[in-house]
Amino acid sequence: MMMQGLNITKSGKICMGEIYNCCENPQITYLAPVNININERTIGSVDVWRCGVCKKKFCEEKQLGIDSITDIVGMPRIGDDEKWGVIVSKLQKGKEKWKLVRLKQNGIIKYETADEKILELKIDNYKIVDDFHTSFLIEDHLNRAVEI
């Protein structure tokens, strides 16, 4: 179990630091991983953490072979109206094929492709609706591997 970017106090509790508090007295613990597979091989994963007080979830994207790609110290912020999801691109291969995102229930998400183009993808009920992209919610796949 990795805990990069987190401060662990002697009591074993994990502090959020000064970056972001989800609630007044956050108690963040590791919840579960979600593995990302291509042809039954795990190419990456999403680590899911949860605050025991407000139940908010936090996710960290892990590409295989890279310890941490996030430049955010502590847990990334997520809005009350957003859920953690993964966008899967049918146009890309390998590690470029997926990306951890925050999905609103409805609307448009700006999605940066591997070649740095910005696409505007439509979201309908926390799911991407697009010919070349699909998505799934992290909360539906805890402790599982998802074939993309």
What residue ranges bind Zn ion (CB under 5 A)? 22-23, 26, 51, 53-54
Q: Least distance in Å: CB of 126 to Zn ion? A: 21
Can you tell me the distance from the alpha carbon of 86 to that of 140, in angstroms, rounded to the nearest whole number?
Answer: 11
Q: Least distance in Å: CB of 21 to Zn ion? A: 7
Q: Least distance in Å: CB of 51 to Zn ion? A: 3
From 55, 48, 47, select the one nearest 80 (Cα to Cα): 55
Rounded (10°) CA dihedral 130, 134, 138, 140? 100
Q: Least distance in Å: CB of 16 to Zn ion? A: 8
In the bound state with Zn ion, the residue whose beta carbon lies nearer, of 17 and 114, is: 17
In the bound state with Zn ion, the residue whose beta carbon lies nearer, of 29 and 105, is: 29
Q: Least distance in Å: CB of 114 to Zn ion? A: 34
In the bound state with Zn ion, the residue whose beta carbon lies nearer, of 38 and 76, is: 76
- Is residue 35 within 8 Å of residue 65, measured between CB atoms? no
Length of the chain: 148
In the bound state with Zn ion, the residue whose beta carbon lies nearer, of 26 and 85, is: 26
- CA distances in angstroms from 74 to 18, 83, 113, 114, 146, listed in the order given: 9, 18, 25, 25, 26
Backbone angles phi, psi at 139, to 5 degrees: -60, -20
In the bound state with Zn ion, the residue whose beta carbon lies nearer, of 77 and 122, is: 77
